[in-house]
Structure 1
Amino acid sequence: MFRTTRLNRGSLRMSEQEKGPPPEHSGDNALNAYLMSVPSRVAEARGIWYRPVEKSREEVSRTLDRVQAMGANELYLETWFWGYTIYPSAVQAARGIEPQHPAFQGWDPLETFVAEAGARGIAVHAWLDGFMVGVDPAGGPILRAYPEWAALTRKQAGSATPQPQPETGFFWLDVTNGDVSEHVLSVIREMAMDYQIAGINLDFMRLPLADDPEDRYCYSDAARSAFEREYGTDPLQIGLDEGEPLWQSWTTWIARREDDCIANLYDEVKRIRPELVVSAAPEPGIESDLIANWSQHVDIVIPQAYHNRSDRVRETVELYRKLLPSSNLVYSGLYPMYVGLDIPETIEQVLTAHEQSEGTVMFALGQATDEAIRALRQGPWRTPAVSTGLFPLQAVQAIVQDVKLKIEEIYEPRHGIHAGAAQEMSRLLDDMLGGLEPESGAVDVAKLEARAAALTACLQEQSEMAALPPDVYSQLRSSAERMYQLLQYARMKLRK
């Protein structure tokens, strides 16, 4: 069973105008030559989302062989979906909730994926469906056990049984209910403590927004009572005029409860395992609109840049980069495999992600063809890469070494840089490498940030003196700016 819910929320809908003509290529030889010519970065995240279906360690091994074959270094494994964990959860069992998805009973696929992926140099992130718990008419395992935990729309207020979202049929947990938030946090705490996962990938962490106010969340008994205690008014009695102050107070109150839940989750994860990376994959709509509220509570943001053309991908990712502080890394969430785009367009989207972000996460492995896997490995994922989000200092080191190599073997021999400029930049790069591998003590990240800034200033000066051609200057400046941002991220998010 593969995840298809994003289609239902509109993020995968395509217009005829957006599709455009397919890129042209003539023959396998031409395509292979093109793939071998595209750049392959030494530092970036190369991830793919995946909902598991395996029944044994052998099947897991075969799946991970395909992930390794494409050149990926991160797997976003759906670990909690439809309200079930894929592993046997003591937390769920203690609550009287079914402890494991019935498809996986009798073994622990999460443990197996983590072990087998680690043997291949692939990091596993636990991808969670958050407060969306599926389409089971009974509400799934959590709402069967605790029907009072269901989120309800205004129209559904007062219902004694869980009710689905009108547009999608999804059932949602009530994020304003303290018991719900604590249970979600407890499950995530269990994953972080019991499994050597590299990160937590959050999805569906806000209640959906509907055009019809009668279909908006959350009017559960718990939400109504809590709001009334604070404001003296049952939200059902508030008019639907969005300009009314009390309506604004109500919608802000809901958003604040969602923000508080993410903040508590982030703090707890970092308390247990500071190196664990927390990422969010916001969908178009309310999650995207309010992602800046979460910037301090997630490390990496992976916008769902789900388009059929690379220029639209660029627009989406650029928007998020403007919304978020530089301490957040941005990856690009792409879907060419899911909708069967041809290989040239798939590769073009990955190259666009190179220009805009520190990594790519593809949706999804279940739809990855052998042709697409080969193309990624022949092309942009050809050489090994250090994950920028997981190992930012090692990533900076790889970028520095790559720039030094290009100066020594390409730019200077081919007269793409004046000898004096090459000497000065090599000195600055050597200073960076020395700071990344100090003879004693810890790495001083703040000092490295200053050195990266000095490198950028040097490049600007050399460009103004015409010691660097514009294209060489652009490439070197991009590398220096990446170093600086990765160092900021390492210091501010991973506490390096």
Structure 2
Amino acid sequence: MGRMSRRSFTLAALSTLATEPAWAGSAAGPAPGDAVGADGPVPGAHPVPGHPARGAAEMRGVWLATVANRDWPSRPGLPAATQRKELIAHLDHAVRRRLNTVVLQVRPTADALWPSPYEPWSEYLTGAQGRHPGWDPLGTAVREAHARGLRLHAWFNPYRIAEHTDPGRLVPSHPARRHPDWVVPYGGRMYYNPGLPEVRAFVRRAVLDAVARYPVDAVHFDDYFYPYPVAGQTFDDDDAYDRHGGAFPGRAAWRRDNIDRLVRGTAADIRRVRPGTRFGISPFGVWRNAATDARGSETRAGVQTYDDLYADTRKWVRGNWIDYVVPQLYWHIGYAAADYAELIAWWAEVARGSRTRLYAGEALYKAGAAGEPSEWQDPVELSRHLTLAARHPQVRGHVFFAAKEVAQDPVGAMARVVADHYRWPAAPPG
């Protein structure tokens, strides 16, 4: 579908999106099996046209973030039994919302939520990096998720070392202290240098240790490859470029090749170590603006993944390098710079004909949040996203950011999604 016809389609689609509850005008009250909201049962909804029927497979996922104790544990230093109780509560919330997949962040900052021989225990567990928490969070998460019929995707941040720039705050055995030449400080954080072959090999070993130990259903990378741009600062990889970049027409091409090598190598490693385990990536939602590249989306985003994070996400999808992609489409329908309607259609076209499954990353955290525009104050906004996405057969489901909002649901946006779209359980895509 061409760009103009795609835009005409999305405009037409917007005119038919629901603006009132699907059960409005119905005399029927709550029925057995109705969705459960934050304050009790939510009345049953009529199926949305084009939405998968009862029993159809689709991704219904939630990100469970551990960096800075965003979702879990609620604070560092809790007793092991309390940490475990909180984790299981998040899994149970996912089940109650009729979700089927939990994407658990197990390597937030070059650390581990399992007994890794490569990296220290995460400080977000105990408050002290390297301190054993007294239990195995990843092993428990896999076991308890599977017991509830949930799939568990292990989420790794590839290159972020710390939310500060002081190596002395890392444990003495930390690889970043043993290999200071691997480290680039930038924007108030420390990162491993993606341009070093030894760094890429190390990251792959750290990831594969978890895959070898546990029957995780997927390995999941987020959007942090090269870091997001910081005005007035330079990511200093001059030495690595001088040593390894000579065959490339410029630094940008070399950086993209570095990320390509990590992605392809990790995919091969997973197939070798645990065949059948999936590999997915959740990039920033804009590959390139059409003003930059005719193949890009009709957006005016300030960040373009290809140019700023050096991640050619479109190539990975079209080339079937990864099993699934979850672009973070964290904007409302009609947003001028990055319209959800435009981007869901653009990504559907990218996925068309590939073997890469497309799921939409959804900004549940914006629903009702202070400072967000009026569209996000409407609890129906997120449900409209799913209605619109259902018009594109390439979209095989959604993943919601994040677990805290799934549990608390401050304005009822998640309950509305469940009532409108998740009336019945669904198996995740095979």
TM-score (norm 2): 0.69
Residue equivalent to 1:253: 254
Q: Is the 8 A contact 1:89 1:100 kept in 2?
A: no
Q: Is the 8 A contact 1:90 1:99 kept in 2?
A: no
Distance 1:302 1:184 in 2: 21
Q: Is the 8 A contact 1:149 1:173 kept in 2?
A: yes
Residue equivalent to 1:366: 404
The share of aligned pairs that are identical, in percent, is 22
- Matches of residues 79-158 of structure 1 in structure 2 within 5 Å? 79-92=106-119, 98-101=120-123, 103-104=125-126, 105-138=133-166, 141-151=174-184
- Matches of residues 423-442 of structure 1 in structure 2 within 5 Å? none
1:174 to 171, 190, 193: 193
Distance 2:277 2:334 in 1: 31
**Displacement of 1:205:** 4.9
Q: Is the 8 A contact 2:95 2:148 kept in 1?
A: yes
Residue equivalent to 1:66: 93
SS in 2 for 1:374: helix
**Displacement of 1:110:** 1.0
Distance 1:170 1:297 in 2: 29
Counterpart amino acid of 2:182? W
Unaligned runs of 5+ in 1: 1-22, 93-97, 152-162, 232-245, 392-496
- Report 1 or 2 for greater relative contact order, CA contacts < 8 Å, sequence distance ≥ 6: 2
Q: Is the 8 A contact 2:364 2:405 kept in 1?
A: no
Residue equivalent to 1:287: 305
Unaligned runs of 5+ in 2: 1-17, 27-41, 67-71, 74-81, 127-132, 287-302, 369-375
Distance 1:33 1:100 in 2: 42
Q: Deviations over 1:110-162 (max 9, x none)?
A: 111111111111101111121123322315555344321123xxxxxxxxxxx
Distance 2:400 2:218 in 1: 17
**Displacement of 1:192:** 0.8
Residue equivalent to 2:204: 185
Counterpart amino acid of 1:35? A
Residue equivalent to 2:62: 48
**Displacement of 1:219:** 1.8
Is 1:315 equivalent to 2:342 in the alignment? yes
2:45 to 28, 35, 38: 35
Is 1:219 equivalent to 2:237 in the alignment? yes
Counterpart amino acid of 2:123? H
Is 1:277 equivalent to 2:304 in the alignment? no
Distance 2:401 2:216 in 1: 20
Q: Is the 8 A contact 1:282 1:288 kept in 2?
A: no
Structure 1 residues 116, 209: CA separation in 2 closer, same or farther (over 3 Å shift)?
A: closer
Counterpart amino acid of 2:180? P
Distance 1:77 1:195 in 2: 13
Distance 1:178 1:84 in 2: 20
Residue equivalent to 2:418: 377
Distance 1:30 1:187 in 2: 55
Distance 2:399 2:347 in 1: 15
Distance 2:347 2:47 in 1: 29
Distance 1:108 1:335 in 2: 30
Residue equivalent to 1:348: 384
Distance 1:79 1:360 in 2: 21
Structure 1 residues 86, 211: CA separation in 2 closer, same or farther (over 3 Å shift)?
A: closer
**Displacement of 1:101:** 3.5
**Displacement of 1:350:** 2.0
Q: Deviations over 1:179-227 (max 9, x none)?
A: 2111110111111111111101112453146487x74445253333333
2:330 to 306, 314, 318: 306
Q: Is the 8 A contact 1:66 1:373 kept in 2?
A: no
Counterpart amino acid of 2:57? A
Structure 1 residues 197, 338: CA separation in 2 closer, same or farther (over 3 Å shift)?
A: farther
Residue equivalent to 2:264: 263
Query: Which of the pair is proportionally richer in helix?
Result: 1
Structure 1 residues 146, 183: CA separation in 2 closer, same or farther (over 3 Å shift)?
A: same
Residue equivalent to 1:11: none
Q: Is the 8 A contact 1:130 1:204 kept in 2?
A: no
SS in 1 for 2:45: helix
Q: Deviations over 1:233-273 (max 9, x none)?
A: xxxxxxxxxxxxx8x43321221122112111111111112
Q: Is the 8 A contact 1:269 1:276 kept in 2?
A: yes
Distance 1:25 1:316 in 2: 24
**Displacement of 1:45:** 0.4
Distance 2:332 2:240 in 1: 42
Residue equivalent to 1:453: none
**Displacement of 1:298:** 0.9
The two structures, once aligned, show a CA RMSD in angstroms of 2.9
Distance 2:356 2:142 in 1: 26
Distance 1:102 1:344 in 2: 34
Q: Is the 8 A contact 1:43 1:386 kept in 2?
A: yes
TM-score (norm 1): 0.61
Is 1:202 equivalent to 2:221 in the alignment? yes
